[in-house]
Structure 1
Amino acid sequence: MFGAYFDEGSRDPARQAHRFDRIAGRYDLVNDVASLGCSRRWTRAFARAVVECVDAGPADAERADADATSVDRAEGRPGDCPALDRLPLRGLHILDVACGTGTSSRALARLGADVIGCDVSEGMVAEARRRETGRDVVAARADGRCGAVTYCIADACDMGFADNRFDAVTCCYGLRNMPSPVAALEQMRRVARPGAPIVTLDFDMPSGTLLSNAYRLYDAIVLPLVGGLLTGHPSDYRYLTQTIEQWPGRRGVAHMMRVVGLRHPQCRPLTKGIASLNRAWK
């Protein structure tokens, strides 16, 4: 089902690391452009999904599966998120795979989690560490208003973390770029404790011919143009648009989650399907 996508040599880890090293400094800015300005709302929706998964657990997910007629969940309101002063993830240890510049890792830490963010790109990890020195981040951590975040270099398909270590494992915009998303999901399952959720966020293709064609045109022309102007590397953004076009989307991710033995996979489109959340439990 996914062979043509996975066999591309351009997804070699060393090439991937080099590609993302070059664009690390402007990655979040271009991500805002690629998402039509929605990426920050999607990050809040992602953080909310992690809280929901931790609160619900696999037993509640099983009951929801029994009532559902489709793997798709209704589209939520991407701007919604739990109150940050609740710290609903306090005391939990979360692994954020392909953490990039640390946007998702910091979102989880602001909800109280202690987070390890890992990425194959040294440039991305360096940028994430640099952002941890910001005045607001340092003050919040000193006051106990957020959890700790540490960053490290790691290949998602061959992580060195112990089995059954983390209370949740997450991945934002990374699974699509990995040489083997199935191998990466197997690693995420291995390091998650029994009953822990695995939550992913990534670009998708919107449903409906008109909207889908319009987004493909935007993705093929505007993203490489803007990304190239901002970073000086248009070829890297042409590559990223190709991965979005070829990606099997939320239903494909749900299938991969089943393949590696994760339970109760569910998916939720965001912003008419331009992005999607996937979640399942070990």
Structure 2
Amino acid sequence: MSDQGPKPTTHFGFKEVPTGDKVSAVAGVFHSVAAKYDVMNDLMSMGIHRIWKRQTIEMSGVRAGDSVLDLAGGTGDLTMRFSDLVGPKGQVILADINESMIKVGRDRLIDKGFVGNVSYVQANAEELPFPDNTFDCITIAFGLRNVTDKDKALVSMRRVLKPGGRLLVLEFSKTDNPLLTKVYDTYSFNILPKIGKLITNDEDSYRYLAESIRMHPDQATLKGMMETAGLVNCRFHNMTGGIVALHYGVKP
């Protein structure tokens, strides 16, 4: 019998898991929390996530007639705003790897009357099922940290952008203020899982979310990853003391 050696691993929160198992592990988290996702977002961020997303919209430069991919779009906060901006001649695709999140997002958008220029695709960010040069803008909000191979995903996003198209990555990041970091850690690891248990009866998923934030690359590292993927004019804007950062890059 030949020895093929140890299987490659990746992090799932603070745990190491076989690389091939991470997608299903992350899927389990979001299947569990999908129904209460919006309520938890408001509670976790005290509503500030709406301001972070508003700034993402403003930096996107999306206008009438554009084609937009809202990747890891979940329950559709950004999709709704983009739908208004692109108008009847534009298109917005809400894509998510998780079937439960897409279902919640689709039901929510249809209930609010967003039909006609919005469509839904279940897709893995690492292998986007779209032709080259399709989108004027791609956003991924609070989703990149859950992707197994982030470098591969960034290359995939670049491929499907049109030349001159913009990628915006909104993600939890690193604060360089020691006091804020201490408060943030205390909240993330002691309070957030308890809120998750109270609202969704799922403490473990919110402990994973806190751990996944800590394992995500810092601002400078992610900027470098975007540049390596072939994007130019890369920069980032810290919000709420660096708890969240909005990264921006353009396909040349």
**TM-score, length-scaled by structure 1:** 0.79
Kindly report structure 1 stretches of 4+ aligned residues shifted beyond 6 Å. Answer: none
Q: Aligned ranges for residues 208-227 of structure 1 at < 5 Å? A: 208-227=177-196
Residue of structure 2 aligned with 1:263, choices 204, 223, 232: 232
| Native 8 Å contact 2:174 2:219 kept in 1 | no
CA distance in 2, matches of 1:249, 1:124: 27
What amino acid is aligned across from residue 231 of structure 1 in structure 2? T
Q: Aligned ranges for residues 17-36 of structure 1 at < 5 Å? A: 17-36=27-46
Shift of 1:19: 1.7
What amino acid is aligned across from residue 96 of structure 2 in structure 1? D
What residue number does 2:82 align with? 108
Shift of 1:4: 6.8
Instruction: Give the superposed CA RMSD.
Output: 2.0
- Aligned length, in residue pairs: 236
CA distance in 2, matches of 1:158, 1:106: 24
Shift of 1:97: 0.9
Q: Aligned ranges for residues 7-86 of structure 1 at < 5 Å? A: 8-9=16-17, 12-51=22-61
| Native 8 Å contact 1:258 1:265 kept in 2 | yes
1:277 aligns with 2:246: yes
Q: Which is bigger in relative contact order (C-alpha 8 A, separation at least 6)? A: 1
CA distance in 1, matches of 2:48, 2:109: 23
Shift of 1:157: 0.8
**1:205–1:29 CA distance, 2 compared to 1 (3 A):** farther
Shift of 1:264: 1.4
| Native 8 Å contact 1:33 1:223 kept in 2 | no
CA distance in 1, matches of 2:128, 2:29: 20
Q: Which runs of 5+ in 2 are unaligned?
A: 1-8
Q: Aligned ranges for residues 158-177 of structure 1 at < 5 Å? A: 158-177=127-146
Q: Deviations over 1:118-160 (max 9, x none)?
A: 11110000000110122xx31xx58xxxx72111111111121
| Native 8 Å contact 1:95 1:168 kept in 2 | yes
Residue of structure 2 aligned with 1:187, choices 134, 156, 161: 156
CA distance in 2, matches of 1:17, 1:105: 21
Shift of 1:217: 0.7
Q: Deviations over 1:231-269 (max 9, x none)?
A: 111101100000111212322211110111111110001
Identity among equivalent pairs (%): 33
Is 202-211 or 173-182 further displaced after alignment? 202-211
Structure with more strand by fraction: 2
What amino acid is aligned across from residue 102 of structure 1 in structure 2? G
**TM-score, length-scaled by structure 2:** 0.87
